[in-house]
Amino acid sequence: MVTGGAGFIGSHLAERLQAEGREVKVVDNLASGEQRLKFLEASGIEVDRVDIRHPACTEIIEKFRPDEIYHLAAQMDVRRSVQDPVYDADVNVLGTLRVLEAAAKVDARVIAASSGGCIYGEAPVEMLPLDERSLRNPDSPYGITKAVMEDYLRFYRSNQGLDYVALALGNVYGPRQDPFGEAGVVAIFGRRLIDRRPCVIFGDGEQTRDFCYVADVVDAFVAAAERGAGELFNIGTAIETSVNELYWAIAGICEVDSPPRYEPARPGELQRSCLDSGKAKRLLGWTPSTDMDAGLRATVEFIRGRGE
């Protein structure tokens, strides 16, 4: 079962599992996934339009009895979490608890999506890239709810024997991403540069992120079905890319040579973020394999309507 399976990452994951011959069910309330339904329908994947907070979700889990629940459904917009922390916690904490309760009952492994950028927050530069022993220092309600999710996973493991793996993802990019959210910057720049519209960078553009291609992230979820029980893994490339570098890389692919427009930095935005995934390599056998140029080209092709 893939919660949030109509989402950007979840739809790729559901398709991969189906292609590997697994019986897949998607649970998604379509809070943001509507436009991706066509991909799931084309693959013949069954979608239950259900909210993870609703008892109907529990019933589906108890009836379907999945071996694994890939838990990706979330309120994942950092800015929305700041404006409405109650909604954020309702979905990301209470919704998650419903899923964990049901998973424990049917002995399903939960492979949960956390956020590497948001649970660690701004760390001292000399600590980068951050490994899993780094201090958690979430600086948004979204980061807090993702950090709390991991505490609950551990609690359910010790209290009810829940089998879980948590993946702290870097900034995921690739085809099908909404042009908003945590790493929507690739989708936003891509769309605007293809349309020859100006792009805005908030701050000086020297803020960095760890951009990880969606197919590599899907590989990590698949690897976590078999290994890594009870552990948190960072899933990133350990490569810092500044927003300026990203802009010029996409501009080059789109054959645009005009510079971006700069506006004042947004308060509270992370300056630097980069993840050490050595633990995932050792215990999951996972490493990212897509270089950024190839990933960006595939993303731009998709936005142009040529991909997939």
Ligand X SMILES: NC(=O)c1ccc[n+]([C@@H]2O[C@H](COP(=O)([O-])OP(=O)(O)OC[C@H]3O[C@@H](n4cnc5c(N)ncnc54)[C@H](O)[C@@H]3O)[C@@H](O)[C@H]2O)c1
Is residue 113 near ligand X by the rule CB under 6 A? yes
3-class DSSP assignment, residue 46:
strand
Closer by beta carbon to ligand X, 33 or else 295 = 33
The CA-CA-CA angle for residues 284, 164, 112, to 5°, reads: 85
Of residues 115-154, those binding ligand X (CB under 6 A): 115
For the bound state, the minimum distance from the C-beta of residue 148 to ligand X, rounded and expressed in Å, comes to 13
Q: Which of 2, 17, 29, 89 binds ligand X (CB under 6 A)?
A: 29
Residue among 18, 62, 32, 52 at smallest CA distance from 222: 18
Is residue 8 near ligand X by the rule CB under 6 A? yes
Is residue 219 near ligand X by the rule CB under 6 A? no
Residues in Cβ contact with 155 at an 8 Å cutoff, skipping those fewer than 6 apart: none
Catalytic residue selected from 120, 142, 164, 247: 142
Burial of 74 (0-12, 13-18, 19+ CB in 10 A): buried
Eight-state DSSP code of residue 275: B
**Residue 153 CB neighbour total at 10 angstroms:** 23
Closer by beta carbon to ligand X, 145 or else 193 = 145
Stretch touching ligand X by CB under 6 A, among 170-178, 222-230, 241-249, 292-300: 170-178
Which residue of the chain is nearest ligand X when measured via CB? 7
Q: Which of 1, 40, 61, 73 binds ligand X (CB under 6 A)?
A: 73
Residue among 212, 221, 164 at smallest CA distance from 11: 221
Q: Which of 51, 101, 139, 150 binds ligand X (CB under 6 A)?
A: 51
**156 assigned to active site:** no
* Rounded distance between C-alpha atoms, residue 16 and residue 109, angstroms: 18
Residue among 7, 38, 267 at smallest CA distance from 26: 7
Is residue 171 near ligand X by the rule CB under 6 A? yes
Q: Which of 1, 2, 10, 237 binds ligand X (CB under 6 A)?
A: 10
Residues serving a catalytic function are: 142
**Site residues for ligand X per CB under 6 A:** 4, 6-10, 28-33, 51-53, 72-76, 91, 95, 113, 115, 169, 171-172, 178, 181-183
